[in-house]
Amino acid sequence: MGNSKFGRFIMLGALLGGAISMFDRSTRYQVKRKSSAMIEQVGYYSKNPDVLKQKLQQKKDKYLSIYEQFSGDAAYIKNQVEELKTLTPQVKELVVGTKEAFVDSKEEYKEIVNEAKEGMEPKKN
């Protein structure tokens, strides 16, 4: 691996690509502007490390809060899934029982309606 030229050629390609992209005026302007802003920030934070520490602490707290919220939501969903697993057989039995009750009632209603019709028909003499 020590004699591999792959890594060197990748680095050379990246450098050549970066150099060629600098021929474009807008690219040069953006690189200059972003570099200046980055240098400014580095200088500011080197003079004010407490501000950097505070910002990093805020970011850490924010991500920790997001993680805790996500963990709580995941635990809640897990509990709901477990509860659903235990309720599913009971609900299935309830639905089957209800269906059977309606089927039985349907037959009873048909009988009642038929009896009522027979009772209302005029008698033939």
pLDDT tens-place string over residues 63-120 = 999 999 999 888 988 988 888 788 777 777 888 888 787 777 777 777 777 777 676 6
What is the C-alpha separation between 59 and 18, in angstroms, rounded? 32
Q: Which long-range contacts (CB under 8 A, 24 or more apart) does 58-66 make?
A: none
Q: Tally Cβ neighbours within 10 Å of residue 52.
A: 14
Query: Maximum Cα–Cα distance for the chain, whole Å?
Result: 118
Q: What is the value of pTM for the model shown?
A: 0.46
Closest CA to 58 of 66, 47, 48: 66
Contact 45, 52 (CB under 8 A): yes
Q: Is a pLDDT exceeding 80 seen at residue 14? A: yes
What is the C-alpha separation between 21 and 26, in angstroms, rounded? 10
Q: Any idea what DSSP says for residue 48?
A: -
